[in-house]
Amino acid sequence: MPTTTSQNQRLATFSHIHRVTGSPGDPYEVIFVNQSGLPIVPLTEWYRLRLERGPKSTRDTYLTCLQSYLTFLEEQACPWNAPPEQLRPTLIAFHRDRLRCQIHPGKDGESVEIVPTRDTPLRPSTLRVLRAALRDFYLVLKDAGLYAFANPLSSEVLIALKQEHTRSLANRGAPDQAGIRGETWEQSRLRPTAFLRHPTAQEWRPELRKELADVRAGMHKVLDAMLDSQELPLREKAVLTLLQNTGARLHEVVLLTVGGYRNAGLAGQARVINKGSFGCEVKTIYFGHNPKVQQILTTYLEQVRPLYDPQRRTKFSELGDHESFFLTERGTPHSMKSFYWHWYKHYTPLQILCPVRFSVHDLRHLFVTEFLIKLKLACGAGTDHFDSDQYQREREAFGCQVMGWRSTRTIDIYDQSRDGERTLSVLASYQQDLSQRCYVSAFPNVPERPTLSPPSTDSLTTAVAPSPEVETVWTQATETLAWIKKMQQQRG
C-alpha cells in the first residue's frame, strides 16, 4: 500500500507552484509563486492564517492538496474567489480530469459523489483529505473576509434543510440523557451538507488480533525494553511513558506546550491540543497516579531541556506558556517526524518480542482495551453482581473525559471487539489443540522434510479395512485414496 509520503509526492506532480522563503521579520514566512514568478495571494494568505488554527503537520498536508487544486484553477483560467456556482463545475472537472475519478449525481440533487477508479493515482483516504483541505481553504479565507460567498464545498440548500430539520425536531434542545429528543445530537451533527461526497467508508474497528492477551503482553515487553534502553533519548522515553499512561494521540503529546503542562497549577494532568480543536488546548490528559511519569517529565525538564533551550534557561518558571515542552537537539519544537525516526530505529530490533507488528497509535488502542478490561472487572464481571448500568455509565464517561471523543458510539466499537477477542482466543486454543495431533505426512511435497516410511499392512488393516456390511465412503485426497486401494488389491 502506498505510504503517506508517496501519496504526497503524487499530489506534488500535479503542482507547478513554488515557494519563496521570506526573510526574518517579514509578515509572510513563505510566499507561493506560479511558473511565471507571480505570487499566489490566496495560498500565501491561507498558509499564514492557518498557522494559528492547528498543528503544522495538518497545515503542510493540506498545502500539498491545495497546490494541485490551485494549479488546476490557473490552467482553467478560473478565479479562486468565483461564486460557488462557477467553482463547482471546476471542482468536478478537477476530480474527473486530473484525478480520473467517476462523478455520480447525489440522490438529493444537491451533491455529487466522487468515486475513485483503477486509474485514480490517490487512495480513497487521500481523496477525503483533499476534500477536507479544500473546505478548510475556503473556510479560513471566508472567516478572514477574503472570500465573499458561501463555502463552495457545502450546499446551501442542504444546510437550510438541516437547519429546518433541527427546528422541527421534537425537544430539539434536550440532552441525549433525557431520552426525549427525536434523535441524538450525534445524528443531527452527521446530517450531510457537503457538495462533494465520497462513498461511505466502512466503520473502523480495532484489529482483533491485537486485542489478544499474548499480543498485549508482547507490546508491553517492547515498551519495557525501549524504556530500559540506555540508547533511547530521555525525551523519547518521556513521550512513550505519556502515551502508555494516558492513551493520548502522538501529536497531542509531542506538541505539548509549557502552558499545557502547567495546566493552571494542577499537578498530574496537562492540557493538550485535541483532534479537530484548531490548535486550542481543550483536552486534559491524566497521569497523576503513576509517580514514574512525573519523575521522568521532571528529569527531562530539569536536566535535558536546558541543554537545547536557545536561551539556556534552567528554571521552569522562566519559560513562557506558548513554548514547546519538548525540544529537538537544534532547539526547535519537537515534531512527529523526529519522534518516528527514533521510534523505528529502536523498535525494529525489538519487534520480535511481540507476535505482531504494531504502530505508535496502537498504544492508544492498547490503553483503551486494557482499561475496559479493568473497568468491567471492577463492575463485577464474571460474578452474579455485575452492574451493567454502572459499567455503561463509567465507560461513556471514560470516552468523553479521558479519551476526548465527541461521539459516545466510539467506545461501543471497542466494547464490540471484546466479544471478538474471546472468539479469537477460543479459536487460538482450538488450533493449538490441532497442532498436537500427529499425521503421517502433513507436507508430502516439501523436499527438505524427512521421508516417512509407508504404514505397515497390519496397521492398514486395522485402520481402514472396510466393513462387510457398510459401504465405505472415502473422504481422503484422490492421491491418498488411490494408494490405499492399491494396497488393498495387493492384499486381496
Residue 418: the pLDDT is 56
Please say if the pLDDT value at position 455 is more than 50.
Answer: no
**What mean pLDDT is predicted for residues 324-339?**
93
Residue 423: the pLDDT is 67
The CA distance from 478 to 6, in Å, is: 49
The alpha carbon dihedral of 251, 136, 42, 279 has a sign of negative
Tens digits of per-residue pLDDT, 98-134? 999 999 988 878 888 999 998 998 888 889 999 999 9
**What mean pLDDT is predicted for residues 27-37?**
86
Q: What is the DSSP letter of 264?
A: G
Tens digits of per-residue pLDDT, 195-236? 888 876 566 677 778 888 899 999 999 999 999 999 999 999
Q: Which fold has domain 208-422?
A: hpI Integrase; Chain A (1.10.443)
Residue 13: the pLDDT is 72
C-alpha cell at 225: 525494553
Q: What is the DSSP letter of 398?
A: I
Identify the three-state secondary structure at position 277: coil
The DSSP line for 300-366 is: IIIIIHHHH-TT----GGGS-TTSBSSB-TTSSBP-HHHHHHHHHHHHGGGGGGSSS---STHHHHH
Task: Please state the pTM of the whole predicted model.
Answer: 0.61
Choice among 307-321, 374-388, 461-475 with the minimum mean pLDDT: 461-475
Residue 173: the pLDDT is 76
Residue 178: the pLDDT is 67
Tens digits of per-residue pLDDT, 276-294? 777 788 889 999 899 999 9
Please say if the pLDDT value at position 135 is more than 70.
Answer: yes
Please say if the pLDDT value at position 141 is more than 50.
Answer: yes
Please say if the pLDDT value at position 259 is more than 90.
Answer: yes
Residues 6+ apart with CB under 8 A from 295: none
Q: Which residue matches cell numbers 459401504?
A: 471
**What mean pLDDT is predicted for residues 462-491?**
57
- If pLDDT is split at 50, 70 and 90, which confidence band does 167 have? confident
- Using CA atoms of 469, 475, 480, 482 in order, give the dihedral in degrees to the nearest 10: 50
The CA distance from 262 to 215, in Å, is: 36
Q: Where are the domains of the chain?
A: 4-158, 208-422
Q: Which residue matches cell numbers 502522538?
A: 250
